[in-house]
Amino acid sequence: MRIDLNRTSDVPLYRQLHASLARSIRGGELGPGTKLPSVRAMSRELGISLITVVQAYDALAAEGLVHASAGRGTFVGCHPAACSPVDDADGDAGDQAGADEWLASLPVYLTAPRIFEMESLLKFARRPDVIYLASGTPDATLFPVRAIGRIWHRAMVVEDPRFLQYGSPRGDANLRAWIAGRCGASGIQARADDVLITSGVQQAIDLVARTFVGPGDYVLVESPTFLTALDIFGARGAKLVGVPVDSRGIRIDMVATLVERFRPRMLYTIPTAQNPTGSTMVEDRRRRLADLARRHNMLILEDDSCSEFTYEGDAPPAVKAFDSGGHVIFVKGFSKTVVPGLRVGGIVAHSSVMSRLAESKSVADRFASTLIQRTLWRYLSSRQYDRDLAMARSVYRRRRDAMLRALETHMPAEVTWTRPDAGFNLWVNLPRSISPTEAFEGGMKEGVACGPGHLFIPHVPPPAGVRLSFADKPEHVIAEGVRRLATAIKRIQEQGSGRLRESEFVTTV
Ligand SMILES: Cc1ncc(COP(=O)(O)O)c(C=O)c1O
């Protein structure tokens, strides 16, 4: 079987491998029952990553061309609908091979390499014997489902149905007014007209990126940061420059230097409950960041997904609170504090920025669901919201403490970690000799899944680490998960196999 991969092509390697194997299967070169080389053997043979092979095999399986047999391997399985007869007199096999080639050659204008890689890696981690500390999700048992159900029902049977008509791209006026009012707690003066409702913070980041960031623009990001934001800016063709984060937030001294050097269009920051480190930027750095933006005409995209979950005292004022010229675009999320499934977020911005974002929202999906906006507004305006927040905050604080205690008890001396002031995650700094994928794979062997750190970093160089999330697990499970990860790290150290494999890191600059 001959497989030619073109490494200079725009077509991703996994799609080339998939197309080549699909051709061989449909053409009969690989007959039913043939065992494909193992993922590891194929990756070694072709000099490509394990993930690339897994993605290609997955795509073949999704089409019914192969099937995986647990513990035995991957076999050509000729699904009658997907697999034409070898000696097809009508030439259908040849036609399909041509179509496969054409499909594989379609240009990809939107790529999401990090989130895709994360999902591929974690696909095998959702098993009962694996403790899943890999995703920073809230605890579903704390969701206010009864309250939301009641409000939803009332909206449908009691309210004037005209609220379900086509709505404004800016969103429900009541919800916008609520968000504007609540901004006061973060030191932001806003009116309902300064607010636009989005489908989650993720769409807010996407709208801002597609409105203001173009190919070749420099974007400064915290390193590590929220991996989907890296995908979004990457999809715009932006050049990403990482700025390290310490326990006091983004390294503002480095921002000052990098702003001079790259003249970035934008800086993306998560100043409170930074994902994945959990750190919170101190007030002085927030003030200086806003000042740098004004002096250098740089936009700041400030992501506030869950500052409500600050565990010691109150979060400092938002960066936007120090914005005198309209350079800061503030984004508020409700996925962590209410439920992710409603998909609501809000953007607060200066009027001239806002009008352009409203046009983008209108082009993207016209407006957010009016039923969901109405429901969320009524819940947020009820007294129950603050009570639920306080309860969830104390649960999450105890879980954070359980994770910190377990790290202290079990981790070897060479391992350090951040101490989150807020949010759902912390970052474990690995010894230099251990790569994030080695830690991830070692953890999986011990029965724990962590977030492989290279996916949160825009480019080399390390230091590398892994993300651990604590919000959705009971304390004893968190403790056991950390113990397993510590065992894995010690084992890798003992075997002395930890080598830094630079090729595992994604370079975008
Ligand atoms: C920092 C950060 N921003 C944005 C998001 C996405 O939020 P949403 O669900 O509102 O799109 C997340 C979700 O994990 C996040 O951690």
Domain boundaries, the chain: 13-105, 113-141+386-504, 145-383
Of residues 462, 441, 488, 478, the one with CA closest to residue 452: 441
Q: What is the pTM of this model?
A: 0.84
Q: Which atom of ligand 1 is nearest to 225's Cα?
A: 1
Per residue of the chain (509 residues), what is the pLDDT tens digit? 778 888 877 677 888 888 888 878 877 788 888 899 988 889 888 988 887 888 888 888 877 788 888 778 898 875 444 444 445 555 666 677 777 778 777 777 776 678 877 887 887 788 899 999 998 999 999 999 999 999 999 999 999 999 999 999 999 999 999 999 999 999 999 999 999 999 999 999 999 999 999 999 999 999 999 999 999 999 999 999 999 999 999 999 999 999 999 999 999 999 999 999 999 999 999 999 999 999 999 999 999 999 999 999 999 999 999 999 999 999 999 999 999 999 999 999 999 999 999 999 999 999 999 999 999 999 999 999 999 999 999 999 999 999 999 999 999 999 999 999 999 999 999 998 898 889 999 999 999 999 999 889 987 555 679 999 999 999 999 999 999 999 999 999 998 754 444 333 322 32
* Distance separating alpha carbons of residues 328 and 451, to the nearest angstrom: 30
* Distance separating alpha carbons of residues 425 and 130, to the nearest angstrom: 18
CB-based burial, 437-452: b 16+ in 10 Å, e otherwise? bbbbebbbebbbbbbb
CA of 28 from ligand 1 middle (Å) equals 46
Residue with CA closest to ligand 1 atom 14? 136
CATH class of the domain defined by 113-141+386-504: alpha beta
- Mutating to test ligand 1, I would choose from 198, 207, 208, 228 the residue with most ligand atoms within 8 A of its C-beta, which is 228
CA of 451 from ligand 1 middle (Å) equals 15
At 223 the three-state DSSP class reads strand
- Mutating to test ligand 1, I would choose from 202, 338, 425 the residue with most ligand atoms within 8 A of its C-beta, which is 202
The yes/no answer on whether domain 13-105 falls in CATH 1.10.10.10 is yes
| Separation in Å, CA 28 to CA 2, 23, 48, 88 | 14, 8, 25, 10
Architecture of 145-383 per CATH?
3-Layer(aba) Sandwich (3.40)
Query: What type of residue is 389?
Result: L
Q: Which atom of ligand 1 is nearest to 205's Cα?
A: 4
Identify the helix (H) or strand (E) that includes residue 8: none
Residue with CA closest to ligand 1 atom 12? 305
DSSP string, 238-249: PEEEEEEEETTE
Query: Quick check: CB of 278 below 6 Å from ligand 1?
Result: no
Strand spans (E) along 22-157: 66-69, 73-76, 131-132
In the sheet that holds 451-452, the strands lie side by side as 416-417, 425-429, 465-469, 451-452
C-beta of residue 21 within 8 angstroms of C-beta of residue 30: yes
Query: Quick check: CB of 200 below 6 Å from ligand 1?
Result: yes
Query: Quick check: CB of 425 below 6 Å from ligand 1?
Result: no
Query: Quick check: CB of 304 below 6 Å from ligand 1?
Result: no
* Distance separating alpha carbons of residues 110 and 233, to the nearest angstrom: 11
Query: Quick check: CB of 136 below 6 Å from ligand 1?
Result: yes
Query: Quick check: CB of 303 below 6 Å from ligand 1?
Result: yes
Backbone angles phi, psi at 46, to 5 degrees: -95, -10
Query: Quick check: CB of 275 below 6 Å from ligand 1?
Result: yes
Q: Which atom of ligand 1 is nearest to 340's Cα?
A: 9
| Separation in Å, CA 447 to CA 128, 129, 360 | 9, 6, 44
